[in-house]
Amino acid sequence: MTIKFTRRAAMSVLAATSILVSASGAAFAADKVTLRMATSGSETDQRSVAMAEVFAPMVADFVDYQPSYNGTIFAQGTELDAISRGNLEMSITSAQELAQFFPEFSIFTAGYVHQDAAHQVAVFNDPLMDAFKATVENDLGVKLLSVMYLGRRQVNLRQPKDELTVSTPADLAGVNLRMPGTDAWQFLGKALGAAPTPMSFSEVYTALSTGAVDGQDNPLPTVVDAKFYEVTKQIVLTSHLVDLNYIAIGKGVWDSMTEEQQAKVQEAADAAAESGRQKQLQKEEELVSFLKEQGLEVYEPDLAAFRDQVQSMYLESEFAGSWPEGVLEKINALGN
């Protein structure tokens, strides 16, 4: 499913709802602030765990934290629109979802740009992000609080290695690879050399088990958490995207809080992001041996071949045309 939002649609929704949101702000002050948080991730995903076990307790004296998981209340990709309309307060969003509204966010969705978790944090906290954050706040009514580490995305296939060994992007030709349903994701699948199929996260396990798709891409902790290893045979360690998410909160509910409460929410979001990041990094380290024990073949392809193809396809794409002048160079300079 591909959902198309535009900046103009977002702004008109924001204008229509801002009165409602600020009017209801008074109610928050008297009682606890309700923060409904929606994610397509599971309850056991490290980002969800960090929000429930680190964020929520740190703000418990004035926040009623109400999480919902697995895209059950808001389907994957609809959360930002819901926040903008005042129907939801928080989500764990992605640069790919933001790129639906603001094409310049596709710079953070491009393969082989972010180098590692520390690089993501450096980029998020650098002044280069100020204009990105301000646009999301002003045009969509959403504040990006902190950056979360999802991990290095790897190609995970149903076929065993003796039937399909992936060394270069050419080996993925014709492989029906599930990618999430936005243009930025689909392009990444093409850049890897595969034939991408859009599908929401909640449908992936079944699609892999029935053979509706040949594979999917996600970081190892997600492959394990979602049990994709039960229905796949190999993992190609392409590390094509050091993937991130943002902790997002509605500007309406943010503005309804006192400065002291805002500072506590910010501190709690940063602490949750840091805790989730450390746990996710540790899992990435440990899970190769777990996956091998489950019978999967896990191996590295020709990484230079993947990097060269993916980077050159991005630079020649219309995505690169939306990247603000000089930002790619600044991102690269913050890396190793």
- Residues at the contact surface with ligand KDO, assessed by CB under 6 A: 39-41, 45, 76, 94, 180, 201, 218, 222, 245
Closer of 35 and 177 to ligand KDO (Cβ):
177
Tell me the closest approach of the beta carbon of residue 139 to ligand KDO, in angstroms.
Answer: 21
Closer of 101 and 201 to ligand KDO (Cβ):
201
Nearest to 180 by CA among 127, 222, 139: 222
Can you tell me which residue has the tokens 């045309």?
A: 321
Enumerate long-range contacts of 320-324, CB under 8 Å, 24 or more apart.
322/103, 322/104, 322/106, 322/107, 323/104, 323/106, 323/107, 324/104, 324/131
Tell me the closest approach of the beta carbon of residue 102 to ligand KDO, in angstroms.
Answer: 16
Tell me the closest approach of the beta carbon of residue 15 to ligand KDO, in angstroms.
Answer: 28
First to last CA, the chain: 37
Closer of 76 and 146 to ligand KDO (Cβ):
76
Closer of 151 and 301 to ligand KDO (Cβ):
151
Closer of 165 and 200 to ligand KDO (Cβ):
200
Q: Indicate the SS3 state at residue 19.
A: helix
Tell me the closest approach of the beta carbon of residue 207 to ligand KDO, in angstroms.
Answer: 12
DSSP 53: I
248, 82 Cβ separation under 8 angstroms: no
90, 37 Cβ separation under 8 angstroms: yes
Q: Indicate the SS3 state at residue 168.
A: coil
Helix axes 259-293, 117-125, angle to 10 degrees: 160
Tell me the closest approach of the beta carbon of residue 28 to ligand KDO, in angstroms.
Answer: 27
Q: What are phi and psi of 330, to 5 degrees?
A: -65, -40
Tell me the closest approach of the beta carbon of residue 246 to ligand KDO, in angstroms.
Answer: 10
> Rounded CA gap, 259 and 25, in Å?
14
Closer of 21 and 49 to ligand KDO (Cβ):
49
Closer of 182 and 256 to ligand KDO (Cβ):
182
Closer of 256 and 280 to ligand KDO (Cβ):
280
Kindly compute the dihedral angle of the four CA atoms of residues 273, 277, 278, 281, in this order, to the nearest 10 degrees: 170
Tell me the closest approach of the beta carbon of residue 1 to ligand KDO, in angstroms.
Answer: 11
Nearest to 249 by CA among 97, 101, 89, 136: 89
Closer of 11 and 73 to ligand KDO (Cβ):
73
CA distances from 80 to 1, 87, 100, 170, 251 (A): 16, 10, 10, 36, 12
Tell me the closest approach of the beta carbon of residue 151 to ligand KDO, in angstroms.
Answer: 9
Tell me the closest approach of the beta carbon of residue 221 to ligand KDO, in angstroms.
Answer: 9
55, 65 Cβ separation under 8 angstroms: yes
> Rounded CA gap, 221 and 237, in Å?
13
Q: Retrieve residue 242's tokens.
A: 């050091």
335, 126 Cβ separation under 8 angstroms: no
